[in-house]
Amino acid sequence: MAHLTAALAAPDISLPLLVVAAAQFALFAGADMTLLMHVWRAHNQHQHQQLHTQQTQRLGQVLLLLYVRFYLVLLLATAVSWALASQAQLLLLLAAYSFWVPQLLHNIHSTSKQPIQPSYILASSAARLLLPVYVFSCPDNILTLPTQPWLVRALLLWVGAQVALLLLQHYTHPHVLLPAALQPERYNYHRPELPWHYAAGDDLLRDVVEGCDVVTGEGVVECVICMGPASLMPLGGRVVTPCGHFYHKQCLLQWMEVPVGGVACPTCRWGPLPPL
């Protein structure tokens, strides 16, 4: 949209800008929307599996709705920007460059740990700031727009604040931005727990646990992901799911990254599992 707007504002170089705008739209409609669909499937694995199992046509309807919503929001944002371009330039520019705000909110909601590498955050932010910094700082810019240093400073401060908060979440915890009273209660994967089959008294399953002391909780239980022994003590050496199954922490982390099935317990398929 930036190249299309620039083509309308600068008739002398409109043809090259229109070619670039057409190429970027083709890239957006193809690769970017495909990436968006994969992201939706990754974030809604449980719903995606249910839809695929129930009816393929229903899954197509959900994906079509995703496309329609995205393009409607895009067209509405373009129309509003065109109508308010002269009256609320700073507000529109800050809104357009709030691209890290959804990621900040998603990190808080999903308790995602280090979802994006700092190098990508810094590089992509710098690349997106290149055009407005050039247009509003260079006196001889191709759009012949007047320089506005205050606008550049405001934009740099706004994007810099978003990047700083993302890096703070990356190196500490996603909930670091929330007061303690507003932070949601997290499931404790290291809670004290005996193997569920000991509590049930199932003799057929007692062979899974070797030398387990029902009083102290010490012993070894089999991790069904790697088929190796997982010590019940100390508590930090193993994780236990809400359904009462024990695994190595690294094994469960790798399991939860599996695109299909990783949201459910490997043993009983209970899910979705809370963030680890």
**Residues carrying CATH 3.30.40.10, the chain:** 189-276
Residues 43 and 127: their CA atoms lie apart, in Å, by 27
Question: CA-based diameter of the chain, in Å?
Answer: 84
Question: What digits encode the pLDDT tens for the residues 89-144?
Answer: 788 888 889 999 988 888 887 766 667 889 999 999 999 999 889 888 988 887 77
Name residue 138's amino acid: C
- Res 223: pLDDT: 85
Question: What digits encode the pLDDT tens for the residues 180-226?
Answer: 777 777 788 888 766 555 444 444 344 444 445 444 445 567 888 88
User: Global pTM?
Assistant: 0.63
Residues 220 and 208: their CA atoms lie apart, in Å, by 9
Question: What digits encode the pLDDT tens for the residues 63-103?
Answer: 677 778 777 877 787 777 666 666 677 888 888 899 999 88
CA atoms within 13 A on the CB side of 231: 6
Match domain 189-276 to its CATH number in 3.40.50.1820, 3.30.460.10, 3.30.40.10, 3.40.50.300. 3.30.40.10
> ∠ at Cα 236 (232, 240), nearest 5°?
60
Residue 4 scores a pLDDT above 70? no
